[in-house]
Amino acid sequence: MIIAIDGPAASGKGTLGKRLAEHYGFAHLDTGLLYRAVARVLMDRNIPLADREAATEVALNLDVSHLEDDSRLRGAAMGEAASVVSAYQPVRNALLAFQRGFGAQASGAVLDGRDIGTVVRPDADVKLFITAAPEERARRRHRELLGRGEQAEYERILEDIRRRDERDMNRSTAPLKAAADAVTLDTTHLDPDAAFQEALKIVEAKRP
């Protein structure tokens, strides 16, 4: 069984992905970490994010073994950088085979990102599109960053989220959008537990 979860930044899709994977005993992949890792390598090597060829080379040779353990991938700056490199078609092509292979695990898989239900696994058994108001997403990201001891300004985070939404939804390569057969879940007024219960209902209703 494959569960595809898409949605904009800080909508709660990552948290839902993890909880659904734990509930069903499935493997989980936050595909956004792949693009964050590409951006991190470029930044570590002082290579401009605008260098598409370098970004593609990094993606083709990316070490994916410790993505979940790399705390540097979680910051707002890396998310913004990932939004830049993820717009490059060659980068997406380089990471596509790995994502599709991950979803083919016999034990089941949950993948979350921006184009899982539309490009990566359009054959997914269940497709969720998780969204929330930009202001609420900015509040969540603000709390998250403060909780990690990082300095954060709400207004700047809101501006970044709106800019990322604009870039992700209007890029020519795999734009952020709900698949035609996806179920949209607005988590603006839901806490994590309530969002999980709603998502669980959707999955159970669509399980083959």
| Residue range 88-108, pLDDT digits in tens | 999 999 999 899 999 988 889
pLDDT of 174 reads 85
Does 12 belong to an annotated binding site?
A: yes
Pick one of 3.40.50.261, 1.10.287.990, 3.40.50.300, 3.90.10.10 as the CATH number of 2-206. 3.40.50.300
Does 127 belong to an annotated binding site?
A: no
| Residue range 174-188, pLDDT digits in tens | 889 999 999 999 999
Does 15 belong to an annotated binding site?
A: yes
3-state helix, strand, coil in the chain (%, to 5): 55, 10, 30
Does 172 belong to an annotated binding site?
A: no
The burial of 152, by beta-carbon neighbours within 10 Å (0-12 exposed, 13-18 middle, 19 or more buried), is given as middle
Does 7 belong to an annotated binding site?
A: yes
pTM: predicted TM-score of the whole model, two decimal places: 0.89
Q: 3-state class of 127 per DSSP?
A: strand
The secondary structure of residue 62, as a DSSP letter, is -
Does 177 belong to an annotated binding site?
A: no
Q: Which pair of structure tokens corresponds to residue 69?
A: 């353990």
Residue 159 has pLDDT above 90, yes or no: yes
pLDDT of 74 reads 78
Rounded-to-integer distance, Cα 145 and Cα 94, Å: 30
Does 9 belong to an annotated binding site?
A: yes
Average pLDDT of the chain to the nearest whole number? 92
Does 175 belong to an annotated binding site?
A: no
| Residue range 33-78, pLDDT digits in tens | 999 999 999 999 999 999 999 999 999 999 888 887 788 887 778 8
Task: Give kind and range of the element (H or E) at residue 155.
Answer: helix 154-170
What are the residue ranges spanned by the domains of the chain? 2-206
